[in-house]
Chains A and B, each alone.
Chain A
Amino acid sequence: DAGVTQTPRHEVAEKGQTIILKCEPVSGHNDLFWYRQTKIQGLELLSYFRSKSLMEDGGAFKDRFKAEMLNSSFSTLKIQPTEPKDSAVYLCASSFGGKGAEQFFGPGTRLTVL
């Protein structure tokens, strides 16, 4: 079975650009999460979908970050416009759902904004 896949694995953007990160959850999983990982802030939740419905989006990230899930097997995270402080690893995770379900993480996208 395929795990969570994320593309691209690496992205370099100029300040002010729009970038779109992609995620395919594990087949059959109902919940999908987008996280940002930095050494300083650790793992920060950006968005949480349950059965394609947006359940939570990290308040601090609302203005330039937009996650969408148009179907159960694909999600995107758009950052517009990018800023150098957005440089981080962006992780997508999925789970079957239900309280305490194990989250399976993708390999991440390392974003560098110049």
Chain B
Amino acid sequence: AQKVTQAQTEISVVEKEDVTLDCVYETRDTTYYLFWYKQPPSGELVFLIRRNSFDEQNEISGRYSWNFQKSTSSFNFTITASQVVDSAVYFCAQWISGSRLTFGEGTQLTVNP
């Protein structure tokens, strides 16, 4: 069975702080994909990143970075120098072949000015 756990329900930081959103996944499959999506207050879901299970390279995109570690089944997301516009719900998700995209429960990030 696949499961995605985002243990942090809510995080509140002050602008310019760095913040890391945790994601732990469970699967017995060797081939899978991991995703992060952002849901701002407007409601739509915005794709941020996709990683396949064979690519453990960390990735950086501007102020965003992702740390994929198969040894701990984690795919954590860090925002550097957070901004108010980063306030949103962030979802981690997993896709296994022959299965479906399973989302975590989401982490509500609030960045205060």
Answer whether A and B are interacting partners.
no
